[in-house]
Chain A
Amino acid sequence: MTTATISEVVPPVPAPATAPQPGELTKDTYKGKIHPDWCPGCGDFSVLSALQTALFELGLKPHQVAVISGIGCSSNLPGFINTYGMHTLHGRGIAVGTGLKLANHDLKVICTGGDGDGYGIGGNHFLHIMRRNVDLTYIVMDNQIYGLTTGQVSPTSVKGMKTKTTPHGSVENPINPIPLAMVGGATYIARAFSGKQKHMVEIIKGAIQHKGFSLVDVFSPCVTYNKDNTYQWFNPRVKILEEQGHDPTDFHKAMDKGYMWGDEIPIGLFWKRTDLPTLEDLEPVLHEGGPLAYRKLGIPEDQAKALIAELM
Chain B
Amino acid sequence: MTQEVNETEEDIILAELADDELVEQMHDDLYDGLADEIAEGTQILLDRDWGPDKVLEKALVSGMNIVGVDFRDGILFIPEVLQTANAMKAGMAILSPLLAEIGAEPVGKMVIGTVKGDIHDIGKNLAGMMMEGAGFEVIDLGVNTLVEDYITALNEHKPDILGMSALLTTTMPYMKVVIDELKSQGMRDDLIVMVGGAPLNEEFRKAIGADTYCRDAATAVEVAKKMVGERRAIAT
A binds B: no
List the interface of chain A (C-beta within 8 A of B): none
List the interface of chain B (C-beta within 8 A of A): none
